Amino acid sequence: MSGVGEERERLRAALRDLVAERGLAGLGAADLERRARVPAGALERRFGDLDTCFAALWLEADAALREPVDEAFARPGAWRARIRAALAAELSFLAADEPRARLYVTEAVFAAEPVRSARRAAMRRRVGMLDAGRLEASDPDVSIAIAEAIAGATWEHLNRAIRGGRAADLPADLGELTYLTVLPYLGARAAAAELRRG
């Protein structure tokens, strides 16, 4: 690896560790350069600023998450099974790497552009997957606002779990999150079945 590439990697790894340890808010360039053991000014030379370095990590995580989630949701079958599979893929992804989960979910709220725009796009994708439940709902007039609320509720659940140090246990919450997701579209009986299934 070239000196330039090595500095970039050191800075990325240091930011990932610092965000996991202390959170993004309040971190400065000097903290990062010290942890990365790179000369002062390296962050500006390699990334421009800390926000850009964080964005590189966040966008990479976002792309890595999209792949298994999209693949799971694209499988043939009923929406209920597809949305469950997509949720399972997301929970496994987050559980596999706690620092990445913290960076992607809990710390991104403090990030600047382009992460803000990318987060909105990620939320729109999530809402689209949820809103597809209307096609199988007994009442297809369910408001799209319901899908937004489910997306927010899921995100809040993930956020609390990761903040509470439970990222590794997230796959155990699949039943609960699927319950919450299918309830507005498929009703209490289907939702309860998902909860029992776990």
CB neighbour class for 1 (10 Å; exposed up to 12, middle 13-18, buried from 19): exposed
Q: Quick one: which of 112, 109, 97 has its CA closest to 56?
A: 112
Q: Which helix (H) or strand (E) holds 168?
A: none
Q: Which is nearer to other proteins, 46 or 126 (by Cβ)?
A: 126
Q: Which of residues 155-174 bind other proteins (CB under 8 A)?
A: 155-157, 159-160
Largest CA distance in the chain: 62
Q: Quick one: which of 24, 97, 31 has its CA closest to 54?
A: 24
The Cα 134–Cα 145 span in angstroms is 12
Are 86 and 192 in contact by the 8 Å Cβ rule? The answer is no
Q: Which of residues 26-45 bind other proteins (CB under 8 A)?
A: 26
Interface pick for other proteins out of 148, 166, 168, 193 (rule CB under 8 A): 148
The Cα 107–Cα 162 span in angstroms is 10
Binding of residue 25 to other proteins (CB under 8 A): yes
Q: Which of residues 80-109 bind other proteins (CB under 8 A)?
A: 109
Q: Which is nearer to other proteins, 22 or 37 (by Cβ)?
A: 22
Binding of residue 123 to other proteins (CB under 8 A): yes
Minimum Å gap between C-beta 91 and other proteins is: 14
Minimum Å gap between C-beta 23 and other proteins is: 6
Interacting residues toward other proteins by CB under 8 A: 23, 25-26, 109-110, 123, 139, 143, 145-146, 148-157, 159-160, 175-176, 179-180, 183-184, 187-188, 191-192, 195
